[in-house]
């Protein structure tokens, strides 16, 4: 069985959330779908929620309104703790800007059931225009993070290629130590060992932190047998407020794991 959680913040209910939730309610292995709303005020989503609850017959959909922006990892932890409590073996953390087929999620579930050494899985991710998004990566150094944002693209091109695993054959599975938080198919046994998302991060590096911790004892697989679509907005490249949040939380990440010296980062990155 599987739980799915989506964290919302001033969502586009009719255009984005409603079609996605209708598709996710078709997942045969679904136990509960959590919509966790970090918006400060409940907006115009009430009628959508009523429609969704009618479709789900009140059994598989749970809406949680926080009334404040708790951050990405902390909000998902609300649902992850329920997966722990109900002993649900798998949990899918995903964004609302994802398009995925219910049948593919069920196939991922079956794959995880059959491969107990896999702690986390992410499929191939493309943009709405069909271009591949390189969201399976090596663990970042400070240069990888801040150079991508502030240095000329030509200067970072070779380094970015290695960071984004473009030097590998991405038509084949890769055991990557960093998988994007936009779609994290998680084995709860592995998540429990990692102690859920680190809530000290408001957003951005919580997916790096969780994946690398799981990677210590499990496979964390980029697995291109399935493809999903992600309307990635890259908000920190467009909004100064989000850029400040990104920088602040990446500094917390490097303070935790190491700036220049991170033996585990070197080990994981060189193993690919």
Residue 40: the pLDDT is 85
What CA–CA distance (Å, rounded) separates 192 from 2?
15
Query: 168-179 pLDDT, tens per residue?
Result: 999 999 999 999
Q: Which residues does residue 64 pair with via DSSP β-bridges, in sequence order?
A: 36
Give the mean pLDDT of the chain. 92
| Mean pLDDT calculated for residue range 39-53 | 67
Rounded distance between C-alpha atoms, residue 16 and residue 48, angstroms: 11
Residue 11 has pLDDT above 90, yes or no: no
pLDDT tens digits for range 70-128: 999 999 999 999 999 999 999 999 999 999 999 999 999 999 999 999 999 999 999 99
The pLDDT assigned to 27 comes to 97
Q: What is the set of domains in the chain, with CATH numbers?
A: 2-138+176-233 (3.90.550.60)
Q: Among candidates 186, 182, 171, which has minimal Cα distance to 218?
A: 186
DSSP 75-119: HHHHHHHHHHHTT-SEEEEE-TTEE--HHHHHHHHHHHHH-TTEE
Do residues 220 and 214 make contact, with C-beta atoms less than 8 angstroms apart? Answer: yes
Per the CB < 8 A criterion, the answer to whether 228 and 99 are in contact is yes
Say what the pTM is: 0.94
């Amino acid at each position: 069985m599987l739980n799915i959680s989506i964290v919302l913040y001033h969502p586009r209910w009719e255009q984005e959330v409603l079609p996605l939730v209708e598709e996710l309610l078709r997942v045969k292995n679904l136990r509960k779908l959590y919509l966790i709303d970090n918006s400060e005020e409940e907006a115009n989503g009430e009628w959508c929620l009523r429609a969704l609850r009618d479709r789900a017959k009140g059994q598989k959909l749970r809406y949680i309104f926080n009334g404040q922006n708790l951050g990405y990892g902390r909000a998902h932890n609300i649902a992850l703790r329920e997966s722990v409590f109900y002993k649900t073996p798998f949990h899918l953390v995903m964004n609302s800007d994802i398009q995925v087929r219910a049948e593919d999620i069920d196939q991922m579930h079956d794959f995880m059931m059959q491969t107990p050494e896999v702690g986390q899985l992410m499929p191939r991710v493309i943009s709405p225009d069909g271009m591949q998004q390189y969201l399976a990566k090596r663990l970042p150094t400070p240069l990888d993070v801040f150079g991508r944002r502030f240095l000329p693209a030509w200067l970072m091109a070779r380094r970015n290629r290695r960071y984004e695993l473009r030097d590998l054959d991405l038509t084949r599975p890769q055991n990557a130590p960093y998988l994007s938080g936009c779609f994290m198919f998680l084995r709860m046994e592995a998540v429990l060992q990692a102690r859920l998302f680190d809530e000290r991060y408001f957003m951005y590096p919580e997916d790096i932190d969780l994946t690398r911790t799981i990677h210590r004892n499990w496979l964390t697989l980029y697995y291109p047998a399935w493809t999903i679509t992600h309307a990635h907005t890259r908000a920190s490249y467009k909004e100064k407020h989000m850029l400040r949040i990104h920088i602040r939380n990446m500094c917390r990440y490097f303070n935790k794991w190491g700036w220049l010296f991170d033996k585990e980062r070197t080990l994981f990155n060189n193993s690919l």
